[in-house]
Amino acid sequence: MIQSDDMNDSGIDCEKYRVRPGDRVSLADRSTDDTQGLDRKAARAIYKRNLKQLDEFQERLYAESKRSLLLVLQAMDTAGKDSTIRKVTANFNPQGCLVTSFKKPTPRELDHDFLWRVHAHAPQRGHIGIFNRSHYEDVLVVRVHGLASPKAIERRYDRINEFERLLADAGTRIIKVMLHISSKYQLGRLRKRLENPEKHWKFNPADLEERKCWDDYMAAYEIALTRCSTDYAPWYVVPAEKRWFRDAVVTGLLLNAFNEMDPRFPPPDFDPADYPPESLK
């Protein structure tokens, strides 16, 4: 049984990282390595506690089968999207959780509107969906490399807000997280990948090319975060350089959302009194 007093006590102020509607985001002013004074041990303890509660909430969400939760993850290469997903889902029942990675669109996907492929993966009732990259690529990489006309890109911010409103109206709770790192930190991660043969598979020379566009990416992120953080689908800029802190924050954000949603086990459609234990054969 979940104790309601414990539930708001994740020990970290996750709301601090929220982008409020009307905020003009400047990423340079947002920390990439904040830890709120916690050390690794304390943050890990919070993370573990969060995981346990998330596990119970997932069961309730699944049993209730009325609403869903969507975590959208965006980040520069090496910021830790994959490891965040591994950490957040560690205790989940895989049957109620679906992770979707959005890569370069296929020709078939490109023959549709940009939200077509995304909508198809919106989590169904009772499920948790995680997007590893998302429809935001259509105003990030697409903007940075001019893969669509400026006019078309300009219209997408409103379309994204409407799309997310549609999901929210249908019962999907949306949390969007940008894992925030510095360019210097990324360089360190890329060097580490090259030094360790077991990490070579993760090294992608194309990441070095993208890295050259760092400032353009930050500018594109700032526009998206400023224009698309809403009450029904808020953005959070989470400091991601201390991974143990990041895990505590992202699980804390999910926990806060679950607390507000308060999913309930459905009442039985039978009278348990009709089935006393001794009557079962």
Name the nearest CA neighbour of 181 among 99, 234, 246. 246
Measure the CA–CA gap between 169 and 164, rounded to whole angstroms: 9
Binding residues for Mg ion restricted to 50-89, rule: CB under 5 A: 77
Q: If binding is defined by CB under 6 A, does position 212 make contact with ligand ATP? A: no
Q: At its nearest, how many Å lie between ligand ATP and the CB of residue 37? A: 31
CA 47 – CA 62 distance, rounded (Å): 22
Q: Which residues in 106-145 contact ligand ATP (CB under 6 A)?
A: 132-133, 137-138, 141-142
Task: Evaluate whether 166 touches 61 at the Cβ level (below 8 Å).
Answer: no
Out of 41, 104, 108, 151, the residue judged to bind ligand ATP by CB under 6 A:
104
Minimum distance of ligand ATP from residue 207's CB (angstroms): 7
154, two tokens: 């300009």
**123-146 in b/e burial notation, b at 16+ Cβ within 10 A?**
beebbbbbbbbbbbbbbbbbbbee
Least Å from the CB of residue 252 to ligand ATP = 24
Choose from Mg ion, ligand ATP, none: what does 82 bind? Cβ within 5-8 Å by kind. ligand ATP
Residue 256 binding target from ligand ATP, Mg ion, none, CB below 5 to 8 Å by type: none
Neighbours of 204 (CB within 10 A): 13
Site for ligand ATP in 146-185 (CB under 6 A): 147
Q: Which of ligand ATP, Mg ion, none has residue 138 at its interface (CB below 5 to 8 Å by kind)?
A: ligand ATP
Instruction: Report the partner that residue 216 touches, choosing among ligand ATP, Mg ion, none (CB closer than 5 to 8 A by kind).
Output: none
- Pick out residues in 78-97 that bind ligand ATP (CB under 6 A): 82
Lookup: tokens for 144: 């940075």
- The β-bridge partners of 75 are 179
Token readout for 76 is 């520069």
Distance CA 19, CA 72 (A): 14
**Which CB atom, from 43 or from 238, has the smaller least distance to ligand ATP?**
238
Interface with ligand ATP, residue 103, by CB under 6 A: yes
Nearest residue to ligand ATP by CB is: 137
Measured distance CA(250)–CA(240) in Å, rounded: 10
Dump strand ranges (E) for the chain: 18-19, 68-75, 97-101, 128-132, 172-180, 235-239
DSSP state of 110: H
Nearest distance from C-beta of residue 223 to Mg ion, angstroms:
22
Residues contributing to the site for Mg ion (CB under 5 A): 77
Residues contributing to the site for ligand ATP (CB under 6 A): 77, 82, 101-105, 132-133, 137-138, 141-142, 147, 204
